[in-house]
Amino acid sequence: MTPLKRLEGAPAKGPLVLIIMDGFGIGPENEGNAWHLARTPVLDGLMASCPATTLKAHGTAVGLPSDADMGNSEVGHNALGAGRVFDQGAKLVGRAIASGALFATPLWSELTEKPSAGGTLHLIGLLSDGNVHSHIEHLFSLIDRAAADGVRRLRVHVLLDGRDVPETSALEYVDRLEEFLGGIRGKGPDFRVASGGGRMVTTMDRYEADWSIVQRGWEAHVLGEGRRFASAREAVEAFRRETPGITDQYLPHFVIADEKGPVGPIMDGDSVIFFNFRGDRAIEISRAFDEESFDKFDRKRVPRAVYAGMMEYDGDLKIPRKYLVLPPNIEGTVSELLVRAGCRQFAVSETQKFGHVTYFWNGNNSEKFDEKLETWLEIPSDRVQFNERPWMKAAEITDAVIAAIGSGNYDFIRLNLANGDMVGHTGILHSAIIAAETVDLCVGRILEAVKAAGGIALVTADHGNLDEMFELNDKKEIKRDKKTGQPSAKTSHTLNPVPLILYDPAFPGRYRLAKRGDAGLANVAATILTLLGYRAPEEYLPSLIETNGAGS
């Protein structure tokens, strides 16, 4: 990609600040819309008085297979930083399975060779059709092909969702899996579920927020240690009886056992596939399998097994060493181009979303393009359920941003306020309302600093979440329990568009934002370049900035 060229006219005196309000979509204004219910005078004022438009943040606009697929923070930040739409994990894996390319690789042969000769093939991953981290149909395809290729013994280690799908839907997927495995067992192979647990407490930690989550998964999947049950259904039903109101994502880890003991610990000579395609919550368990000098917890026993991820989860750090499907190759991100142009950048978020303003923003690369021109700041997240502290680390992030603006050391500042997404995933409406009000307060503080510095701010989101805290039917009406009339909580992302607001206090009439029906998150990169005084590359989706001629 060619170097950036300057546009005519000088950019703003102060920095450009991109505020990403994670999980803030624009949805129906009903009793389940936490943003609508919250007191948000800052955002309300911005929407009423500033240039604003909406952006698509789901489906094909962010590289997913169809517009029925909700967006997520990973593909959202990829699109925001890349300026173009790249095919993402779900589409890449689906294509590799459908074409047979995944099964034609030497790695697939290696993974199925020993299990065909008496060992065990283990499949670990999120059991749902949320299509954010994984898809149950991908799992079924792997199982089917393994049986066809002569694997005689297979174990599935199920991570229960309740986050990208309804919060207590685990048994629907467990029953589908058991039926599928039962059909294969009827033909002779020994295919069974071996262990599991809720995704937020078992295996799927990210950004090293809490390694004990990965340790619990290691104990269940590898060592066969944990509370024992005869089946996954029995485990789920027992946990629900013992802790009324618990949702699937927080169900404790468990082990399936019979009269001989655990049915499927991972042993020497076995093969393991982590079948999630999304990287953030797959990196740590991959490190536990791959790293020889591992010190995050006591693994007790490390099996000599072939381990592979569905995809390469970190291209810079080469995690894992072996993987089945190539990730999208994203080059020429907006930060890379700005670094080449000498632009000084600052990126900040708390642990839960730090990788999104760095790794995913930079096209799935974990390293800086230039140590001298880029400053990254991670603020450690609290280790509690997010509904208990819905303010999270928004104040600390805001303090850091205000300091960065005041320093005069940066031309472009980007931040992620994670509250809307992480609290929205809990399904607790009143906490989500507090999260929205927290973000509103922090946005207001940041904008005051932007104004004082003579800068410009863009306010947007990566996908929707807290805008629908209750499930909706096809008529966009809230679903309710037939007996109690209570609404059904929703913990997943939404298909709603997100806002893009331009705050330009020095010259409030200088720019307009184009209102285009096809505009999506990938248009933001070119918009950033325009505001910084650069012409966007031809490969980028077009900038949404239109000039009124004022202030120039």
Residues with catalytic function: 73
Pair of tokens at residue 244:
């009324």
Using CB atoms within 10 Å of the CB of residue 182, give its burial: 0 to 12 exposed, 13 to 18 middle, 19+ buried: exposed
67-70: list long-range contacts, CB under 8 Å, 24+ apart.
67/495, 68/495, 69/131, 70/130, 70/131, 70/132, 70/164, 70/463, 70/464, 70/492, 70/493, 70/494, 70/495
Give dist(CA 270, CA 155) in Å, integer: 10
User: How do beta strands 5-6 and 412-417 pair?
Assistant: unpaired
Alpha carbons 460 and 467: distance in angstroms, whole number: 14
> What is the token pair recorded at 419?
């509250």
Q: What is the DSSP string of 389-424?
A: STTTTHHHHHHHHHHHHHHT--SEEEEEE-HHHHHH
Burial class of residue 512 in the structure, from the number of CB atoms within 10 Å of its CB (0-12 exposed, 13-18 middle, 19+ buried): middle
3-state secondary structure of 110: helix
Burial of 186 (0-12, 13-18, 19+ CB in 10 A): exposed
Cis check for the bond before 327: say yes or no (omega within 30 of 0).
no
Tokens 């890449």, residue?
92
User: Could you identify the residue written with the tokens 């999980």?
Assistant: 23
Q: Give CA–CA dist 71/124, Å, rounded.
A: 23
Crossing angle between the packed helical segments 232-242 and 170-185, to the nearest 10 degrees: 160
- The angle at the Cα of 124, spanning 118 to 127, to the nearest 5 degrees, equals 130
308 contacts 274 by C-beta, under 8 angstroms: yes
**HSE of 375, CA atoms in CB hemisphere, 13 A:** 15
Q: What 3-state class would DSSP assign to 511?
A: strand
Output the 3-class SS for 147-173.
Answer: HHCCCCEEEEEEEECCCCCCCCCHHHH
**Parallel, antiparallel or unpaired: strands 271-274 and 534-535:** unpaired
